[in-house]
Amino acid sequence: MTMHAQWNDRESLVHPASAPDYMREEQLRALQLQRLRAITRHAYDNQALFRERMDERGVKPEDIKSLEDIRKLPFTQKTDLRDTYPYGLFAVPMNEVVRLHASSGTTGKPIVVAYTEEDIEVWKEAMVRTFACAGLHSGDIIQNAYGYGLFTGGLGAHYGAEALGATVIPISGGNSERQIMVMRDFGTTAICATPSYFLHLIEYAEEMGINWDDLPLRVGVFGAEPWTDEMREYIEGKTGIKAFDIYGLSEIIGPGVGMACEKQQGLHIFEDHFMIEIVDPVTDEPMPDGEEGELIITTLSKKAMPVMRYRTHDITSIIAEKCECGRTIRRINRIARRSDDMFIIRGVNVFPSQVEAALLKVEETLPHYQIVLSRHGGMDQMEVQVEVTANVFTDTVRGVEAVHKQLSDAIAHILGIRVKLTLVQPNTIERSMGKAKRVIDNRNK
């Protein structure tokens, strides 16, 4: 494929691969329906679990006559991918599978995902459209600090960046000193990483005496863990780059399911390949546009392992209004919350991202924090440990007490309860090379 040959003009506005982003609404919905019918048929004929559940409900593939009929289909849960480990959901013979990836399960067996040659092409195209959303072109030098290997992040971004016509540096994660050296010496213009790893690189660069203004880096493509708009503003303010939120999950395809555009108001979903719904996580009832619920995704083109109505546990809402960037594919709001991440303290639902948003509103806060949960006498306790700038500990005008009170109030304001707060010196909290561990749960120890 030489699609990038047509994209060597920096003045061009639309990458050829991005054409579906601008499709007319009725065309897009017609295409979705056509693909939904085909993938339902494919999954029914080739995936035993899906067929079983369809038969239980008395639903046949030909019952899908409109997009709303998707609600007749059964959900897929993450446990379904685990229970059928390793190959139980594959819908093509093994000789048509050209790639396997796996996600590291926190407990027990990982989940395995498969791609045909065509699936790989779809993924690559979705990643080209992702990078195009961030304004990247051929001529850009993309430092890919996502982990290479079974994790989908590394190879997903790699092939997309090549297909875009950009130059890829396949550096993978870790070795921060080399990351900074390469960033400076190779003239990196864009970096792909988890936001928490990039925060670590910011510190490292400062220690090395690097001035961000001297680097050609202008774009960050950050994802694979929830992060807030406050964190984005921190990163942008600190480095002068534009930080884009990328969305994806291995179960669906990997990175490249959705991406923020330059307007930075939500993430566009590549709806011609991924059909989205929002449901009430408790009642499973569909939620209207603009209202929050659980994001459900159906792969419309994936052959090796179609995933029908996948329950992502990501909490968001659909933005139906047209984006000022001109793309007609719809957006979802930034996913800062996963229902899996939620914990309950004194009867209050708490998400780590709420704490992050509260902390970063206070000037002296560094974006390194941890939440420690413990149990004393049957009562759950929550402690927030957060790093603050070194001068907080020496400043006599606005010292520790003042900053402590302000942060404490900010958290109480968002959560509605008071929790223990500990201010710590810079570089106290362990840094992450990949996904950050924000919550330490000692309640059952």
Longest dimension (CA), the chain: 74
323 contacts Zn ion (rule: CB under 5 A): yes
The residues in 247-276 that bind Zn ion, with binding defined as CB under 5 A, are 261, 263
Strands 365-376 and 439-441: parallel
Closest separation between CB of residue 240 and Zn ion, Å?
22
CB of 126 to Zn ion, least distance (A): 16
Q: Which two tokens stand for residue 174?
A: 């870790």
Task: Name which of 273 and 327 has its Cβ closer to Zn ion.
Answer: 327
Cα–Cα distance for residue pair 238/246, rounded to 1 Å: 20
C-beta closer to Zn ion: residue 232 or 327: 327
Q: Is residue 315 close enough to count as binding Zn ion by CB under 5 A?
A: no
Minimum separation from the CB atom of position 312 to Zn ion (A): 21
The yes or no reply on residue 132 touching Zn ion (CB under 5 A) is no
Applying CB under 5 A, which part among 56-64, 108-116, 236-244, 327-335 lies near Zn ion?
327-335
**Shortest separation between residue 14's beta carbon and Zn ion, angstroms:** 12
Amino acid at 319: I
Name which of 28 and 436 has its Cβ closer to Zn ion: 28
* Nearest partner of 268 among 277, 256, 278, judged by Cα: 256
Residue 133 or 157 having the CB closest to Zn ion: 133
Amino acid at 55: D
Within 8 A by CB and 6+ apart from 53, the residues are 74
Q: How far from the centroid of its chain's Cα atoms is residue 26's Cα?
A: 28
CA dihedral 251, 253, 255, 258 (to 10 degrees): -100
Instruction: Give the separation between CA 317 and CA 63, rounded to whole angstroms.
Output: 28
Beta carbon of residue 400, minimum distance to Zn ion (angstroms, whole number): 43
Size of the site for Zn ion (CB under 5 A): 5
Beta bridge partners of 102: 112
In the complex with Zn ion, which residue's Cβ is closer, 259 or 304?
A: 259
**Rounded to an integer, what distance in angstroms lies between the CA atom of residue 190 and that of residue 203?**
18
How far apart are CB 34 and Zn ion at their closest, in Å?
25
SS (H, E, C) 10-46: CCCCCCHHHHHHHCCHHHHHHHHHHHHHHHHHHHHHH
Which listed range, 12-20, 25-33, 70-78, 316-324, lies at the site for Zn ion (CB under 5 A)? 316-324
Q: Cβ of residue 261: shortest distance to Zn ion, in angstroms?
A: 3
Interaction residues for Zn ion, span 148-177 (CB under 5 A): none
Pick 133 or 366: Cβ nearer Zn ion: 133
Q: How far is the CB of 161 from Zn ion (least distance, A)?
A: 21
Which CB sits closer to Zn ion, 172 or 328? 328
Beta-strand ranges (E) seen in 104-239 are: 111-116, 141-144, 167-169, 190-193, 219-222
Amino acid identity of residue 58, one-letter, is G
- Residue (325 or 412) nearer to Zn ion, CB: 325
- Residues, the chain: 445
Q: Which of 325, 400, 412, 439 binds Zn ion (CB under 5 A)?
A: 325
Residues forming contacts to Zn ion in the complex (CB under 5 A) are: 261, 263, 323, 325, 327
